Amino acid sequence: MNHKLSLALAAALAAATPGLVLAQAEQAADSAVEPVSGNPFFVVSNLPYQAPRFDLIKDEHYQPALERGMAEQRAEVAAIANNPDAPSFVNTIVAMEKTGALLNRAGAVFGNLAGAHTNPEIQKVQATLAPKFAAHQDAIVLDGKLFARIKSLYDQRDSLGLDDESKRLLERYHTDFIRAGANLSDADKETLKAMNSELASLATTFSQNVLKEVNDSAVLVDDVALLDGLSDQAITAAAASAKEAGHEGKYLIALQNTSGQPPLTSLTNRDLRKKIMAASLVRGTRGNEWDNTGIVARVATLRAERAKLLGYDTHAQYVLEDETAGTVAAVNKLMSDLAPAAVANARREAAEMQAIIDAEGGDFQLEAADWAFYADKVRQQKYAFDEAQLKPYFEINNVLEKGVFYAASQLYGLSFKERKDIPVYHPDVRVWEVFEADGSKLGLFYGDFYARPSKRGGAWMNAYVPQNGLTGTQPVVANHQNIPKPADGQPTLMSFDEVTTMFHEFGHALHGLFSDVEYPQFAGTSVPRDFVEYPSQVNEMWATWPSILANYAKHHETGEPIPQELLDKVLAAEQYGQGHATTEYLAAAMLDQAIHQQTAGNVATDTLAFEAKALDAAGLDYAPVPPRYRSAYFSHIMGGYSAGYYAYLWSEVLDAESVEWFKENGGLSRENGDHFRKTLLSRGGSADAMQIFRDFRGRDPEVGPLLKRRGLEAKPDAE
């Protein structure tokens, strides 16, 4: 395990946001499985690809394995730092890449289970170990002897005869150590350690509060008549949720972690819609034991003070220096250029909805709780279809196997075989072995698609075993979503948004599966945060590619393909709603920047007042379109996306360019897929991210395709 991934592991354990954590050791043979006695983390898994031994792992194994893993890595790092031999690339940098095998094995599983299937015992370990992990990471990056060896090598990097990837690795170590405080005085290092420890504990508390609040805020409904508009399947699921929560005979509407909630599209009862939206928007601000407003202010304060200690004006400046965006000014310009047109588009969309409300005799003004419901009515008027028409054609197995997997087979020649002999951590989780076009083995893919109370909101990818040539490991990756699980015996019919999300997350999975790098530091999705979403966004294009859509969009009862007329309407409607989508996203991204562009000594203590002021200043205080995430449940910015939520938009510039490239070059073909894989997906972080993009595209990106996609071409000065 390398030092940077110690940081990722600490973040995963603190914020329940799984990062890439490495399993080191020889590749296990694909042979008969023998039982492992004692703590299963203490030995390399003997499953194919070193897949986790979920059949043996118990909650009581985590803390001993993680603590022993930290101790082992400290000893390994101390041996490197105190090596009497002159520093060399092999005895220092490569040696660092090989440290922490046990810590990574345990951390890879724990970091993900803390988000995917937590419980009070895991949460207790999380809270206990978060500050210890922060201290562990600090002990490595603030080790003066170790940094002296790294600096010595860095100063002579041009004369060491290193290949490009090795030289980049050395430079990355030097940069990361400096950014972590290696050049600080001893006194300042102690101050930094205290800050990092408190931040780790706060992030853990915030994360656990978000999960408890979203469960506690579920809306209980007494009368089924109030659920008019929901499908029979959704009503049955709500009844089952209520029964499980001890409210048999009632109906429980579970919330997702975004501000908007899926049932708002269908519910005809406006009072219930408003109740659900209100419950969603006040999460984390109710003054109860899970109130996160104070935590947001304290985290912002500590991050601002830490940035100042490290020589930066703000936390945002510190973060963005190491991203492809480079500067605060570049990010602010991108968002401020787009915001006026986005809000103008949203207001035009709102006017169309208000016209329907008025025509129906509704004596009210459009509010946030009404948006999804009336947007669907506009969609029906403009395109003569609604989401309910689509769902019967989006059965989950068809979407996954005949859509997501099929696209991967057409582009890259991949094939998939379900492995029911590989143990999982929950009955809903499934595993597939992935093969190359020539039949050789590529890796394992886990799919965990259903929502449950033990799972954090959102969707994400993680790697249990990232690929790297140094230790010869092949990738084991996983995707996670929060699709409501239907009653037993009922099909899982997905919304179009859930379909797109499945393609998106599999784009991350492909980034991990195709990794072909030498060093663990650069494996898979170990790229700048504002680049990591780009390949996954590109993969979304295949969800609506005609030949792919026709292959998976088949009626779950009759098997009939989606009618061409309906298909045409879906494609025509793709850009509809971009005013809302762009505005809610920009509001959250601007809020993230506002929080993290505060300077030390000037951080607001009233989180809600600051939020309102920031949205007003950005011109994004449009009540019918609240931010996609408000501060108190904005989990991204407590994990790896602090001052980085803009990354989705920045990545979309590259994504829109890449979609244009595919279309210009014939679309869905092995030749195009292999080019994307070779020049970009396989390279991880082994080269400069923008140079990797240029190697694929042949030039620097332009913003035009994004503006066209978002319906924002009208703003000529957006660059």
| Residues marked as catalytic | 505
Q: Return d(Cα 191, Cα 194) in angstroms, integer.
A: 5
Please report which helix (H) or strand (E) contains residue 654, including its range.
helix 647-664
The answer to whether 514 and 538 are in contact (CB under 8 A) is no
- Around 22, how many Cα atoms within 13 Å sit in the side-chain half-sphere? 32
Q: What angle do CA 125, 127, 133 make, to 5 degrees?
A: 85
Helix (H, G, I), strand (E, B) or coil at 501: helix
φ/ψ bin of 311: left (φ > 0), alpha (ψ from -120 to 50), beta (otherwise):
left
The answer to whether 449 and 484 are in contact (CB under 8 A) is no
The alpha-helical segments, DSSP class H, found in 521-563 are 529-539, 546-552
CA 409 to chain CA centroid, nearest Å: 24
Strand order of the sheet with strand 476-483?
A: 415-418, 430-435, 441-450, 476-483, 460-465
* Short-list 584, 625, 576, 628, CA closest to 369: 625
Helix (H, G, I), strand (E, B) or coil at 478: strand
Indicate if the alpha-carbon torsion angle 423, 424, 427, 428 is positive or negative.
negative
Helix (H, G, I), strand (E, B) or coil at 219: strand
Return the bridge partners of 445, or none: 432, 477
Q: Return d(Cα 108, Cα 708) in angstroms, integer.
A: 40
Q: CB within 8 A of 119, min separation 6: which ones?
A: 59, 454
Pairing between strand 460-465 and 430-435?
unpaired
The answer to whether 461 and 479 are in contact (CB under 8 A) is yes
Q: What angle do CA 474, 539, 168 make, to 5 degrees?
A: 50
Q: What angle do CA 553, 709, 449 make, to 5 degrees?
A: 40
Q: CB within 8 A of 672, min separation 6: which ones?
A: 411, 662, 665, 666
Q: CB within 8 A of 48, min separation 6: which ones?
A: 28, 30, 419, 422, 433, 444
Q: What are phi and psi of 482, to 5 degrees?
A: -130, 60
Structure-token pair, residue 252: 């429980």
The alpha-helical segments, DSSP class H, found in 514-625 are 529-539, 546-552, 564-572, 578-596, 607-617
Helix (H, G, I), strand (E, B) or coil at 74: helix
Structure-token pair, residue 624: 């019918």
Residue written as tokens 């973040």?
11
Q: What are phi and psi of 428, to 5 degrees?
A: -80, -15
Structure-token pair, residue 137: 């990471």
